[in-house]
Chains A and B, each alone.
Chain A
Amino acid sequence: MSPRVYRTLKIGAEITVPFLMLLAWWLYTVQRDDPKFPRPTTIVAEVRNRFFFAEFDLHVVPSLERIGLGFAIAVGLGVAIGIPLGLSRIGRSAAMPHIEYWRAIPPPALLPISIILLHSIGNTQKVSFIAFFCIFPVLLNTIDGVRAIEPTLIDTARSFRIPAHERIRRIVFPAALPQIFAGMRTSLALAVIMMVLSEYFASTSGVGYVLLISKNTFQFLPMWAAIVLIGVLGYLLNALFLLVERHVLAWHRGWRAATPR
């Protein structure tokens, strides 16, 4: 087989296989004709009618708001704590037991505590919950990124008597940026999951709340629509993030090496 034919076949398969899988799903739901498994076409229509029109302000906007706020707070705190920890060995060894513990705990175990401590089931609690668990990927990557900086860079800056805050702003932070972005990408995916978890437990709005309420009322269509919406949301946020990353890190010669693929 010539390479050209092979390449054409490969692209053909890349298009056909997902299409066939969708078709199989559709045929299965048609044949089964069960309200538990609505047809994909019906689900897509439901996503459009419910989430993009009827309940966009009611459920989609609050969820996006929580993801955005939680993610932003997590990135800010993660970088702000991560840079000093990356620079200080004693700081790292003091912080590591805490980081290891909170990173290993299954997040939902803290849902009841977040409500008790913050006296809230609204945005305060949801955003804090999302932010708390999204800190860790950013924090750990920032620490690693700062530690990996070539010592010559910092020594050079020192011998030119560049003050510490300038050193951090102009050398440490930019040099660690590719790794920080790698952590941010993980955090963003995590933020979507944390949004679902937090809204699935004591809430009054959001996509996770739609999941909860449709479960309690045995409505399968909105449930499927919410699942599809959450999947698409995660996919789009990731794509958007890659776009931003490419722009922000365009100047960085090492960024290809630091980002997977």
Chain B
Amino acid sequence: MSEREREVGSLSAPERRRRRGIATMFFLGLGALLAFVIIPKQNETVTFGFVMDKEWVAFHEWSVSSKTGSLGFAIVALLAALLAYLQFRARKTIRLASALFSFTFFMSFLCWAASGKFIPFTGLLQGGLLLSIPLIFGAMAGIISERSGVINIAIEGQLLAGAFASGVLASLTHRNWLGLIIAPLAGVLVSLLLATFAIRFAVDQVILGFVLNVLVIGITGFLYQRLLIPYQSTWNSGSTLNPIRIPILWKIPLLGPILFNQSIIVYLMYALVALITVGLFRSKWGLRMRAVGEHPTAAESVGINVNKVRFRNVLLAGAIAGLGGAYFTIGAVGTFGKQMTAGQGFIALAALIFGRWSPLGAVAAALIFGFANNLQSVLSITGTPIPSEFMLMVPYIATIIAVSGFVGRVRAPAADGVPYKRGESH
């Protein structure tokens, strides 16, 4: 059958998707050539700084003329697209080529946009990592919930609840580490509603998640106006957790200060990502989770209590997102602000879909969003030819391009969003 199909020249769905991805790469690469090289602009030197702190120094900075830099990187980007095309012929994964493409495309843009400016490269990456922390927590929460078959649109609410609870408790007790304990509990509380209504009452999960977000935004906003503003010194004067330097590791050039000079929340995040990546595919817990998310009837037939597994995993997801919420308050600024998560939960959701429900994919997507966002704020300070509003749109447009071009018809866990009732076959 597949032989005949190939003879007729039709491609399978993943092949079509890949072809579309490669076409997008060529298109963007040519666009980069046109936009960044041919469109005339003052040709000054771009300087990248690679030193941030007192880490060991490999090299201090690198200067390149704007035009040479953007032309060079655009050509490499096009070569990467070509490589992807060749790999496609060789029926290999195009991951390497697309990673190379993304990096060089980004550098080409940077050389063009930052003409005559100094770009603190290490700082750019570090800021990007910081911005992607809540996204990674949120996406991990989404993966656990959705892999077990419950759609989690309430990530935003779980993050916000965690941010609120940790900020308030840290302020009331003057012990900001207590925030690390209460934040997951606040997330669990939101999840408890999600799980109860989704599993016990079989409420539509997309709608439910949306409504829970409104509920948390409402409650935290109400309490913020009612208590946190008038009695700020008791209710909203928390402080931030101190960064911890991991001995030796933080001295590694470039990566050290980015990865190993962070607060405990970030280290917890590394551990979490590792645990979930391994646990999801290599443990009983992960196997059961995937079983109830893909084929609950089969899971039930081997004696797994489907709804119990789902319930527990949704609560766990809430705890993870809640902990991520703590990053907004005690991890970053100390005090709580109204709606301070500002839609990050939805971006986390996009990262999760972008990453196709796989932990590492979601982390990669979250990092891309974080970097794009940080690039925008760095460039808005140094000044760019592009209005800052358009820079701010980039992560969102990238998501749309990704879900419609690169990712195409995504396949969620088969029973994601479908309530399970014993004795009803699906």
- B is a partner of A: no
